[in-house]
Amino acid sequence: MHLAGTVCTVRSSTGKEVLLGSNFTVSCIFNKPCTKQLFRNNEPIKYELSPRSREVFVYIRNLTTLSIFTCKCNDNPEPCGIDITPGYPPNFPQNLTCIRKTEFGNVSCTWTTGRDTKIVTTCQLRVQGDPHHGYESVMNSSGFCWATFPIKSRMSQLTVSLNVSNSLGSNTSVQPSLPKIKHVDCSSRWCHLHTDNHSMNLVEVQYKSPKGIWKKVQINGKKSLNISLLEPYTKYMFQIRRKINQTMGLWSYWSQAKEAETKEEAPDKVLDFWYLRELKPSQSEKCFRIFWKELSVSDAKGKIHQYDITVKKGNSREIIVVPRRINESICCSDCSVSVSAVNSMGQSPENFIKLQTPHLVSGFLSHKSLSNHSIALSWPRLAIAGNITEYVVHWYPVGDIEEIQWIRVVDTKANITGLRPQECFQGAVTALTSNGPVASNKDLSTWQSAPEQGPVPQQVKKKTESLIVKWSKIPQEKRGGCLKKYTVYLMDKSKGEIHHYSVDYPLTEYIISGLSPGQCYNLWVTAWTDAGEGPRGSDLPFCTPTDTERLLSLVILAGGAVLFFCLFLICICQFSSVQRRFLSCFQCLLPRVIPDPANSKCAKTYDKHPSQSLIHTGVSPLGFLVLKRDKNSTHHVQTLRITGIRFAQSICTRLKEPLRVATVAKPRLEILFYLQQYDSSMSEEPENVEVEEVPYHPSFTCTYIKSFSQESDSSDATQITRNTDISEDYISTHGAISGGEEEEDEEKEMGLDEFEFFPSIRSPFLEPLVSTGGKLTLDVVKIDCSEFLDCT
């Protein structure tokens, strides 16, 4: 390009607009000979002479700003010149945004070229299918272009072409409209994307899992959009964009993200599990705690609902179902176990490990701290029988086995990371061999300090010359690392001497002997780590008792025990069964006097009169009065219970009239027992009957009551007629006479010998059940037969 003047003409090798930073030449051609001058932005610059005598030129390098070049003759002030502007050619149009305000209104679009071209740039938009030649605009200083065009019909999809150009170049592109994913169908390993209709030849899909990174794949737009090589039971985000082809047009904007989840598969990875021996004295079998690691989302391939522990012992198999937790205790001997994760599609493969108690070896495990959070472990290769398949290194915070972690290695070293400083971990290395496991334990800590807190002692048992003391455990966060020992300090207050005793960790109890009776002491305890001794805990002052105090305490203790025993004895003796058990022991010392009922007057008299109504009777070893009705008797008789020394019950007939007891049977014998009907026409009331207690001692303990009727002045015959005869009646008072309704129950009534230990006698410290003031009258022994006889 050149610009002519009256004196000269200026030319630029690249024109008035050049690429920013480019190199070019500026030349001046004068019309006549003269002294030549060349200026740049009004500053003279050196120039070079061209082979042609009337032309000069200058070489310009890296032009970055607008520059004005002028030429003139020295004798003529009129110059000639040129303005040269550096700039950029336009980039591909991008960031197209179109807005349609109404269904049939105008569409306004904007786009950019990516940067300011610095020079005048023209923008043009063309709509595919629109006969209009294009909609033009001029790019502003910010690099934006815009255009507005009408829509005359319903169009769900538009394809527009964009063009930007200036003197340095031009670029044209086509950008499709925003695509849309309608829905996504997935299996466990692939997903198929359903989109809206389009006519683009190239589609790009990007997808990612929630914690993953975006992955992109380009697919021919005319084919199905299938995304393969996905992970089961994983959520993915999908987006698509379109382009006319690989070399033409612009990519559309990314569609809105669509989320979909692949289906489950049965897990195919073997579960990593480990075990530790548990000490349970109550169990006859060995007990173990089984731990396992949860599968990752990709390895689980579904939602884990439970874990199945298969216990194999010989040919038997037992499956223990464990809910969603990662450890379980089992007890078995000579067994193997396998742990499997279960989801809706199946379970992980089995891998059986024989549960064995490892052989412990001490001293071969060493460690060093790498940082405040990591430790390096090392150990020599053990010279043991059996091939070592691998090593298992496990560790957990002391006192918290639930946080156990482990790794498997084949080398003789391992690094443990993720530890907390000033915290003690229980670590171990177990060598798995064909002959059984071999293990070594060690306390581990990255960085230690002296304990921040001391133990709190308390007295367990105190004697005149010794003391048993125990102390509390220091909280883990206050220990400063792994405890090694405790020191018990004992100060004699009278002498001021301090003695100390060392106790290895983890013991928390100690017996101090050699104390002086009646002496006062002060005691405290400290804890140690490898970093040093911690502060003392709280003090425990105490004084040993003197011999006199010790004797007095024993007397008080014995007296209290005796008093408690007496109160307990009085309380339990309120129960009648206890009374009979307890008081029977005192009857063994009573003299053995056995009255013979066969010698009674009634027995001798009525034995001669069988025509009288009679009843066969007998007395069991427990003192029961056993009665049965004679076959020829019309009386209805029921077995009665004698319940106390001063209490008796009479026997009623179906006439419901009181009768007198004439005699009683000899123990274990059967005699005739007569019942005389009471003559109600007699107005004379019976005399009182005196009761005398007579002891009786057969092989069992019992007591009889000897009853004497008051003799009247009448003769024997008269007395018999009036039912006031003098008779000796022996009435057993051991206890209940069990009911014997029928003749066939006699053997049952007589077979109660096993209850010989339950006699009923008068308690030496309890009131009698019924008091009659020492006299047993006929009124007392009268009862109404309607309450216990079937008087039909």
Residue 166 lies in a domain: yes
- Asked if residue 308 lies in contact with residue 347, where contact means CB atoms within 8 angstroms, the answer is yes
Q: Are residues 222 and 288 in the same domain?
A: no
Residue 199 lies in a domain: yes
Rounded Cα gap, residues 284 and 333, in angstroms: 9
Domain of 49, CATH number, reads 2.60.40.10
Continuous H helices in 265-359: 297-300
- Asked if residue 771 lies in contact with residue 644, where contact means CB atoms within 8 angstroms, the answer is no
Q: Both ends of the chain: CA-CA distance in Å?
A: 154
Least confident span in 185-189, 473-477, 534-538, 606-610: 606-610
Q: Show Cβ contacts of residue 559 under 8 Å, excluding neighbours closer than 6 positions.
A: none
Tokens 């003299």, residue located = 591
Alpha-carbon torsion, ordered 222, 226, 228, 231, to 10 deg: 150
How high is the pLDDT of residue 228?
93
Sign of the CA dihedral with 360 first, then 362, 366, and 371 last:
positive
Per-residue pLDDT at 780 exceeds 60? no
What's the whole-number mean pLDDT along residues 181-203?
88
Residue 617 lies in a domain: no
Rounded Cα gap, residues 18 and 263, in angstroms: 61
Coil, helix or strand for 214?
A: coil
Which among 580, 576, 560, 558 has a CA at the least distance from the CA of 568?
560
What is the band of 253 on the pLDDT scale with cuts at 50, 70, 90? confident
Higher pLDDT residue, 669 or 555? 555
In three state form, how does the secondary structure of 467-514 look?
A: EEEEECCCCHHHHCECCCEEEEEEEECCCCCEEEEEEECCCCEEEEEC
What is the band of 751 on the pLDDT scale with cuts at 50, 70, 90? very low
Q: Are residues 409 and 367 in the same domain?
A: yes
How high is the pLDDT of residue 675?
41
- How many H helices and E strands in the chain? 8, 56
Rounded Cα gap, residues 26 and 9, in angstroms: 11
Q: Are residues 494 and 543 in the same domain?
A: yes
**232-242 pLDDT, tens per residue?**
999 999 999 98
How high is the pLDDT of residue 163?
85
How high is the pLDDT of residue 722?
36
- Asked if residue 137 lies in contact with residue 121, where contact means CB atoms within 8 angstroms, the answer is no
Least confident span in 400-414, 590-604, 663-677: 663-677
Q: Are residues 499 and 534 in the same domain?
A: yes
Higher pLDDT residue, 632 or 358? 358
How high is the pLDDT of residue 758?
38
Which among 115, 81, 101 has a CA at the least distance from the CA of 7?
81
Cα 595 to Cα 286, 512, 587, 616, distances in angstroms: 69, 71, 17, 19
**135-185 pLDDT, tens per residue?**
888 888 778 888 888 876 665 567 778 888 888 888 877 777 788 899 999
Rounded Cα gap, residues 722 and 714, in angstroms: 10
Higher pLDDT residue, 540 or 548? 540
Maximum average pLDDT range among 21-35, 345-359, 598-612, 632-646: 345-359
Q: Could you give the angle at the alpha carbon of 83 between the alpha carbons of 78 and 86, nearest 5°?
A: 165
Q: Are residues 365 and 439 in the same domain?
A: yes
Rounded Cα gap, residues 456 and 459, in angstroms: 10
How high is the pLDDT of residue 183?
92
Q: Are residues 305 and 345 in the same domain?
A: yes
Domain end position, chosen among 445, 480, 515:
445
Q: What's the predicted TM-score (pTM) here?
A: 0.51
How high is the pLDDT of residue 774?
46
Per-residue pLDDT at 789 exceeds 60? no
Rounded Cα gap, residues 702 and 760, in angstroms: 8
Q: Are residues 204 and 232 in the same domain?
A: yes
Residue 113 lies in a domain: yes
Per-residue pLDDT at 277 exceeds 70? yes
How high is the pLDDT of residue 495?
87
- Compute CA 483 distance to the chain's CA centroid, rounded to the nearest angstrom: 29
What is the band of 629 on the pLDDT scale with cuts at 50, 70, 90? very low
What's the whole-number mean pLDDT along residues 521-533?
94
Contacts 24+ apart (CB under 8 A), 688-693: 688/775, 688/776, 688/777, 688/778, 689/775, 689/776, 689/777, 689/778, 690/775, 690/776, 691/645, 691/646, 691/774, 691/775, 691/776, 693/645, 693/733
Which among 642, 676, 647, 672 has a CA at the least distance from the CA of 659?
676
Q: Are residues 75 and 102 in the same domain?
A: no
**324-373 pLDDT, tens per residue?**
889 999 998 889 999 999 999 999 999 999 999 998 888 788 888 899 89
Q: Are residues 170 and 248 in the same domain?
A: no
Residue 415 lies in a domain: yes
Maximum average pLDDT range among 45-54, 184-193, 583-592, 740-749: 184-193
Q: Are residues 348 and 373 in the same domain?
A: no
Residue 569 lies in a domain: no
Alpha-carbon torsion, ordered 442, 445, 446, 447, to 10 deg: -140
Continuous H helices in 283-362: 297-300
Cβ burial, residue 170 (10 Å; 0-12/13-18/19+): middle
Coil, helix or strand for 585?
A: helix
Hey, what are 366's tokens? Answer: 């060493």
Rounded Cα gap, residues 536 and 523, in angstroms: 10
What's the whole-number mean pLDDT along residues 242-266?
86
Domain end position, chosen among 498, 532, 548:
548
Residue 347 lies in a domain: yes
Which among 641, 609, 600 has a CA at the least distance from the CA of 733?
641
Coil, helix or strand for 604?
A: helix
Hey, what are 382's tokens? Answer: 């053990």
Per-residue pLDDT at 600 exceeds 60? no
- Asked if residue 1 lies in contact with residue 12, where contact means CB atoms within 8 angstroms, the answer is yes
DSSP letter, residue 180? -
Q: Which domain holds residue 41?
A: 8-87
Q: Show Cβ contacts of residue 784 under 8 Å, excluding neighbours closer than 6 positions.
A: 652, 656
Q: Which helix (H) or strand (E) holds 699?
A: none
What's the whole-number mean pLDDT along residues 635-661?
38
How high is the pLDDT of residue 143?
81
Coil, helix or strand for 374?
A: strand
**393-452 pLDDT, tens per residue?**
999 999 899 999 999 999 899 999 989 988 999 999 999 988 889 999 999 998 889 999
How high is the pLDDT of residue 588?
60
User: Cβ–Cβ contacts within 10 Å for residue 652, how many?
Assistant: 25
**459-496 pLDDT, tens per residue?**
988 887 889 999 999 998 899 999 999 999 999 998 88
Higher pLDDT residue, 313 or 717? 313
How high is the pLDDT of residue 590?
56
Domain end position, chosen among 445, 471, 497:
445
What is the band of 288 on the pLDDT scale with cuts at 50, 70, 90? very high
Amino acid at 727: S
What is the band of 32 on the pLDDT scale with cuts at 50, 70, 90? confident
Share of the chain above pLDDT 70, in %: 69
Q: Are residues 121 and 188 in the same domain?
A: no
Rounded Cα gap, residues 687 and 777, in angstroms: 7
What's the whole-number mean pLDDT along residues 509-527?
92
Q: Could you give the angle at the alpha carbon of 432 between the alpha carbons of 428 and 436, nearest 5°?
A: 105
Cβ burial, residue 547 (10 Å; 0-12/13-18/19+): exposed
How high is the pLDDT of residue 408?
95
Q: Are residues 413 and 468 in the same domain?
A: no
Domain count, the chain: 6
Maximum average pLDDT range among 386-390, 734-738, 774-778: 386-390
Which among 298, 296, 304 has a CA at the least distance from the CA of 345?
304
Rounded Cα gap, residues 629 and 635, in angstroms: 7
Residue 394 lies in a domain: yes
How high is the pLDDT of residue 328?
93
Alpha-carbon torsion, ordered 472, 477, 481, 483, to 10 deg: 0
Q: How many CA atoms lie within 13 A of 299 on its CB side?
A: 12
Higher pLDDT residue, 53 or 358? 358
**84-142 pLDDT, tens per residue?**
999 988 887 877 788 877 666 788 888 887 778 888 889 888 887 776 777 888 888 77
Tokens 């339990």, residue located = 572
Rounded Cα gap, residues 665 and 321, in angstroms: 73
